Structure 1
Amino acid sequence: MSIKSIEKFRREIGLILAPFLSVLVYLMPLDLPTDAHIVFSIMVFCIVFWLTEVIPLSITALLGVTAAVVFGVVSIKEAFLSLGHPVILLFIGSFLIAQAMTKHGLDRRFALNLLSKEFFLKSPIRLIAGFSIIAFILSMWVSNTATTAMLLPLVLGIVHMFRQKKIGETGKFAVFALLAVAYSASIGGATTLIGTPTNLIGAGFLKEEGYDVDFLKWFLLAAPITVLSYISMLLYIKFHVRNFKLDYHKIKKLIAEEKKELPRISLGEKNTVFVFFLAAFLWIIPGLANLLGNKELYSFLKAHIPEAVVALIAAILLFLLPAKKGEGTLTAKDLKELDWDTILLFGGGIALGKLIIKTGLAAYIGKHVAAIVSPEFVVLFIFILVISMIFLTEISSNTATVITFAPILIGILKELNIDLFYPIFGIIIAASFAFMLPIATPPNAIIYGSRLVPLSKMVKVGFFMNIIGSVIITTFILIYMK
Structure 2
Amino acid sequence: MIEGADARAVATASSEAEACFDRTRAKVGLVLAPLALIGLLLLPMPGLSPAAHRVTAIAGMTVVLWISEAIPLAISALLAPTLAVVLDVAPAQQVFAPFAHPLIFLFIGGFMLAQALSVHGFDRRAALWLMTRKFVRGSPARSMIVVALTAFGFSMWINNTATTAMMIPIAVGLCTSIRKLCPPDPETLAKQRRFEEGMLITLACAASIGGLCTPIGTAANMIAVAELDHFVGIRIDFLQWMTYAVPVSVVSLLAMLVLARRRWPPALDYVEGLTDSVQRELDALGPMSCAERRAVCVFGVALIGWLAPSLLRLSLGEDALATAWAQRALPEGVVAMIAATLLFVIPAEPRTRDGDRPALMTWTRAATIDWGTVFLLGGGLALGGLATDTGLARAIGTAVDAWLGESAPPLLVLLVVTALVIYMTELVSNTATVSMLLPIIIPLGVQAGGDPVALVLTATFAASFAFMLPVSTPPNAIAYGTGLVRLPTMVSFGARLNLVGLLVLIAAGAWLLPAIRSL
Q: Which category of TM-score, normalised to the shorter sequence, fits these structures?
A: over 0.9
After superposition, the C-alpha distances for 1:361-394 in whole angstroms (9 at most, x for unaligned) are: 1111111111122434321220111121111010
2:287 paired with 1:264: yes
Structure 1, 33-42 or 153-162: larger mean CA deviation: 153-162
Give the corresponding residue for 2:199: 177
Equivalent residue, structure 2, for 1:150: 166
Of the three residues 489, 492, 499, the one matched with 1:460 is: 492
Name the structure 1 match of 2:256: 233
Distance 1:376 1:78, change over 3 A: closer
SS at match of 2:348: strand
CA distance in 2, matches of 1:165, 1:288: 50
Residue 156 of structure 1: how far off its partner (Å): 1.1
SS in 2 for 1:330: coil
SS state at 2:59 partner = helix
What is the rounded CA distance, in whole Å, between the counterparts of 2:344 and 2:398 in structure 1? 50
Assess if the C-alpha contact under 8 Å between 1:62 and 1:345 holds in 2: yes
* C-alpha separation in 1, matches of 2:100 and 2:429: 23
Q: 2:143 aligns with which of 114, 120, 127?
A: 127
Q: Which residue of 2 aligns with 1:365?
A: 396
Deviations 1:183-215 (A, max 9, x none): 000000111111111111111111113111111
Whether the 8 Å CA contact 1:366–1:411 is kept in 2: the answer is yes
What is the aligned partner in structure 1 of residue 453 from structure 2?
Answer: 421
Aligned to 2:335: 310
Residues 226-261 of structure 1, C-alpha deviations (whole Å, 9 max, x = no match): 000000011111112335215532212211221121
Counterpart of 1:278? 301
Residue 137 of structure 2 corresponds to residue 104 of structure 1: no
Deviations, residues 253-308 of structure 1 (Å, cap 9, x unaligned): 21122112113211110111111111111211211233346112432211011111
Partner of 1:328: 359
How many residue pairs match? The answer is 482
**8 Å contact kept, 2:98–2:381:** yes
User: What's the secondary structure of 1:195's corresponding residue?
Assistant: coil
Match of 1:248 among 263, 268, 271: 271
TM score, norm. by length of structure 1: 0.97
- 1:49 match: 65
Mapped partners of 1:279, 1:328: distance in 2: 18
The answer as to whether partners of 2:138 and 2:273 remain within 8 angstroms in 1 is no
Point out where structure 1 has 5 or more consecutive residues left out of the alignment. Answer: none
Higher mean alpha-carbon deviation, 121-130 vs 461-470, is at 121-130
Matches within 5 A, 1:417-456: 417-456=449-488
**What does residue 15 of structure 1 align with?**
30
TM-score, length basis structure 2: 0.90
Q: In angstroms, what is the RMSD of aligned CA positions?
A: 1.5
Rounded Cα–Cα distance in structure 1 between residues aligned with 2:268 and 2:337? 49
2:344 is aligned, of 315, 319, 333, to 319
Whether contact under 8 Å (1:88, 1:347) holds in the other structure is: yes
For the 8 Å contact 1:50–1:60, the answer to whether it is kept is: yes
Q: State the distance in 2 between where 1:181 and 1:90 align.
A: 26
Letter in 2 for 1:364: A
Structure 2: distance between partners of 1:177 and 1:10: 31
Instruction: Report if aligned partners of 1:124, 1:241 keep a CA contact under 8 Å in 2.
Output: no
- Contact kept, 8 Å, 1:387 with 1:467, in 2: the verdict is no
Given the alignment, which residue of 162, 180, 205 partners 1:164?
Answer: 180
Q: Matches of 1:9 and 1:84 in 2, distance apart?
A: 36
Give the letter aligned to residue 334 of structure 1.
Answer: R
1:115 deviation in Å?
0.5
Q: Which residue of structure 1 aligns with residue 443 of structure 2? A: 411
Alignment CA distance shift 1:13-1:293 (3 Å):
farther
Q: 2:230 aligns with which of 208, 222, 237?
A: 208
Q: How far has the Cα of 1:61 moved from its partner? A: 1.0
Q: Are the aligned partners of 1:383 and 1:471 in contact in 2 as well (CA < 8 Å)?
A: no
Question: What's 2:514 paired with?
Answer: 481
- In the TM superposition, what whole-angstrom CA distance separates every residue of 1:94-129 from its partner, at most 9, and x where no partner exists? 111100111011111101111001211343221101
Moved over 3 A (4+): none
2:423 and 2:400 map into 1 onto residues whose CA distance is: 20
Distance 2:62 2:150 in 1: 36
AA partner of residue 441 (structure 2): L
